[in-house]
Amino acid sequence: MSLLRIGLVIGLLAVPACGTSGSGGIGAVSCGSTETVRTLQPGVVKIAITGTATDPLDPEAWMYRYAERLAADLLLRAEWVVVPFDKSWELAGKDLVDLVATNLASFADRVSPGGTFSAPFLYERRALRIRAADRNRYRTIGDFVGKRVGAVTGMAAHRDLLVRAPEGVQVVAAATFPELYAQFDHGGLDAIAQAEYFMLDGRIIPSYGPEIVLIDHHDLNQGQREESVFVVRDKSQGLLEAVNAFVKRTPFPLHMPPRS
């Protein structure tokens, strides 16, 4: 699988050391845990991401910073592998990475041998992203007959769009969000199938400015919360326990303070 170019690196907030470095192939002892972590390479945690965006409104940036903080928490050096989203959940089980951090939902058909879902760190509801100027033209997917609506291949938004779009809606698939946004910005798309993002405590995570409106909010599966997780390599001993402990004490995303 060819890698995308890694973009600008987001500055990591200072993280105090809270464990001791390992030796003899042991990666680290993580904060608040006695579990040793063994990774593909001693002292390194290999992490699959979709990119290194820096926009604070971009979910890719939230995911990158969270994974970066996780690596620091484990006292391991992060080695980034930039991959397309589609099928990224298979990489840990194939021993290509220790951790998949591509902001993927824990669907049953994404379970793959050799990899295990972590505890969830956010949840989403499906929605359509449109221009604020079009807020009075569109309300649901049914209003886009004869129009072009885009999604990233393999994402929940893509599968949702393929199921819900009535005949006449042109579904456009792209490999990445930057590609999708570029088409939207240049007028090639009338809407993007995406999501509204929520912290686990129910607060909305802002993901767009005043020029954008989200419409047609709904659950992918009625009555079921769509939760995002890491995928952890089973052979990376102690990593799943360390990741779950990190998620428990570290609210996502990092730039939003915990509820007081």
Phi-psi region of 31 (alpha: psi -120 to 50; beta: other; left: phi over 0): beta
Q: Are residues 49 and 168 in the same domain?
A: no
Q: Are residues 118 and 231 in the same domain?
A: yes
Q: How many Cβ atoms are within 10 Å of 229's Cβ, its own excluded?
A: 23
Rg (CA), the chain: 19
Q: Are residues 86 and 57 in the same domain?
A: yes
11 part of a folded domain: no
Q: Which CATH number belongs to the domain containing residue 128 in this structure?
A: 3.40.190.10
Confidence of residue 260 (pLDDT cuts 50, 70, 90): confident
Would you state the pLDDT for residue 35? Answer: 53
Q: Are residues 59 and 128 in the same domain?
A: no
The 10s digit of each residue's pLDDT in 72-82 is 999 999 999 99
**How far apart are alpha carbons 120 and 115 in whole angstroms?**
15
1 part of a folded domain: no
**Percent of the chain at pLDDT exceeding 90:** 83
Do 236 and 40 touch, CB atoms closer than 8 A? Answer: yes
41 part of a folded domain: yes
Please give the average per-residue pLDDT across 223-248, as a whole number: 97
Q: Are residues 38 and 93 in the same domain?
A: yes
Would you state the pLDDT for residue 31? Answer: 57
208 part of a folded domain: yes
189 part of a folded domain: yes
Widest distance between CA atoms in the chain: 63
How many domains would you assign to the chain?
Answer: 2
The parent domain of residue 92 ranges over 28-122+227-249
